[in-house]
Every structure is written in structure tokens, then in C-alpha cells.
Copies of this chain bind each other. A is one copy, B any other.
């Protein structure tokens, strides 16, 4: 067996069920790994080993096992926890202790998860970075805004973490940190107790080290019985290769890796065809900008009026000023256009099971002042489709680069299935070049 802290959630659940280990042992292994690595990665904004172990022992004492029995989980620090601080990545809320758990946290505990601690977020899940560094290179960003969640899972500190996504905040850091990142169909998972950045596009996001784990945790957070994915990865899918108008923003190596991947998947039996999105989709990112800025600026009304000087200049001068300057008419028109793009996207999926598209420009960039280019997710986030990044590639510096798959709204389970097929076909291509 692998070291306990390297097990996936699914493996932990099975190992505990088989009597091979305990929740306490797994939690301890994760805590030990965190203790060894945290000074370099700084993924956590709150971590209390005693509290985690106390939860673990209580779970070991439960008479019946939930779907996530014994699995340690990291929670992005814009999500409320009743027994840990929640500070939203800002000094304004230093020491804040919510009264109750967010819905997703309560559902995690119900299923037997251990709330390991709170992971670093950028300021209000926006631009301004937290302290976290890339697990494989401390000179590089882990991506944002779910920086700590991705770094913690990528570094094997925990097998699962919750993030959120308003633009690229799950897919981008998961891609940089070599994780499987998943943003669900908008609306499928309840956000009560999650700080709202922009309700029109916000979702909870999941970060894991396997597609099975993402499928498992999604059922837990949707509050429905877990139905494992079939062992068989199913028939070869119909894949649309959507380079999008942002293709030139991808680094040449990333373009090559994606082209090569598309060829390999076709060779393995997938029907891979190029999909050029209609030109109007080039305007979706602009609509996204006005929707998210308008909503963010209103949601932060209390902080703007009471703590303006403690908000970073970067956030004030961009998102907030954009939002305050945006008229109701512009906001409404942007929402109407987003809905139009959403409905049209449903139709585009008639011929495809998934689209293959860049997740990021390339490897995590050097420097900690920015969390990287978010544009590659803006269309998909705005049109509410489920998206998943798979750690298929290695970039020129030996760092991970994700490949993004997106599916039709509501086709999350089908997306998981295809993702496994893609992962296997890609791996076979690697071993038999």
C-alpha cells in the first residue's frame, strides 16, 4: 500500500472498510506530511491537529460509515465552519468565527469527512494572492483563488479539498498543481455559507487526485446517495476540440501538448473533430467581467463602506471600481447575453459528449504577485457547464499542465465517465508511443 497520506479518498474509504487502517491513522499521516511540508507550501490558513484528530476518533467510533468515511478534507477559507475561523483572505475578517457550517461542510461531516482545516484563498476569492506557493516550485504561484486547496491536494496533504469558481478559481489552480479539478454545473451544489462573489456564476469546486474521488465527493455535496462510476470506462466518446479564440494566448508547448493529445484520443477510437465556437462567444468574457464586477461590488457593500482602506488596491482599482461604474442597463444586458450564450451552448453539445479545451496557458508562471491567466475558463464558467481539468501533461519545466474537458449543463456524470476514458487512452498513448 502507498503511504496513507498518498491514498485517494476512494482508497481511504475502502481501506478503512476493509479494516486495514483507521480514520485516525490516515489523519495522522496527513498531519505528519503537512508538518513536514507546510513551511514551504503554506497551503493552510488554519490547522489545528488536535481538532482534526478529535474528529477522526469520533468518526472511527461511528457505527455506520458514510460515503466519505474517514477522509480528511481541506476547506477554502471563504466557506463557513462552525469550529474554525473563516477569514475570506482579508485582514478585515481576521479571527471571524461563523456560528454554523456552510451546507457543503455540514454535508461533508455527515458523510464521515474530517474537516482538516482551512485552506488559503486570495483576498475575497479574487485577484490578490495569499501566501501559498506552488508545491513543486516555491518561486511559482499555485494559481488562485483556491490556492491552498489545490496546493494541499497537489502536495498530498489531503486527498480532497473544496474550492470555489467564479472565473477560473478551481480549474486553474488544480491544473497548475497537477490535480483533478472539477467545477459542477452551476446550481447543482448549494452555496449557503459560502461567501458570494458573484451569484450568477459562482459554484463550489472540487479538487482531488482522481476522477473517482471527484464523482464521490460531488454526490456527497449534492446530498444524494453515492453511485460509484462503473468500472468500465465506457465507449469511445465524441470529442469537440475547442481551441477557442484564446488559442494564441496558450504557450506553444501547451498547444503542442493539446494537439498531440487530440491525435492520441482519435487514435484510441474517439471521434475527435474541431469545433470553432461561433464568433459571439468571444464576447462572453466581457459579459462575465461586467456581471461579476457588478455583483461583487454590491456583495462587498459592508466592507467597502466600513473598511475601504483595508481592501487591496488591486481589488479596489479593478473589480470593485468596474462594478461600481457598471450601470443597471449594462449589467442586465450582460446577463441577457450570458443566458443567450448558455442556451446556444446546449445546442452546440448535440454533436459532442465533451469538448477538449485549454485549462491554462501553460505551467504555473514564476512569481507570486499574480495567480495566472484566468481567461481560458471564462466562457465555460459563464455558460454554467460542468468542467474538469485532468493532469495529463508535463510542461517544459517539468511542471503539470491540465487539459480541460467541458460537457453540457447537467451532464456531470457523463463528463466523469468520458474523463476516465480520456485519462486511460492518453496514458496508453504515452506508454505505446
Question: Residues of A at under 8 Å CB distance from B?
Answer: 82, 93, 96, 99-103, 105-107, 109-110, 187-188, 190-193, 195-196, 199-200, 219, 222-224, 295, 297-305, 324, 327-328, 332, 335-336, 343, 410
Copy count, this protein chain:
2
A336 (CB) vs chain B CBs: closest residue: B410
A251 CA / B223 CA spacing, docked (Å): 40
Quick one: which of B196, B304, B305, B336 contacts A192, CB cutoff 8 A? B196
Query: How many whole Å from A390's CB to the nearest CB in chain B?
Result: 24
Q: List 25 A-B contacts (CB under 8 A).
A: A82-B302, A100-B303, A101-B301, A101-B302, A103-B298, A103-B299, A103-B300, A103-B301, A109-B305, A110-B305, A187-B335, A188-B332, A190-B295, A190-B298, A190-B299, A192-B195, A192-B196, A192-B298, A219-B328, A223-B297, A223-B298, A223-B324, A224-B327, A336-B410, A343-B343
A196 CA / B102 CA spacing, docked (Å): 11
Query: How many whole Å from A316's CB to the nearest CB in chain B?
Result: 16
Q: Is the CB of B103 within 8 A of A99?
A: no
Q: Is the CB of A301 within 8 A of B199?
A: no
Query: How many whole Å from A96's CB to the nearest CB in chain B?
Result: 5
Q: A99-B96, A199-B187 are in contact. Are A224 and B328 (CB under 8 A)?
A: yes
Query: How many whole Å from A383's CB to the nearest CB in chain B?
Result: 13
Q: A93-B99, A224-B327 are in contact. Are A299 and B410 (CB under 8 A)?
A: no
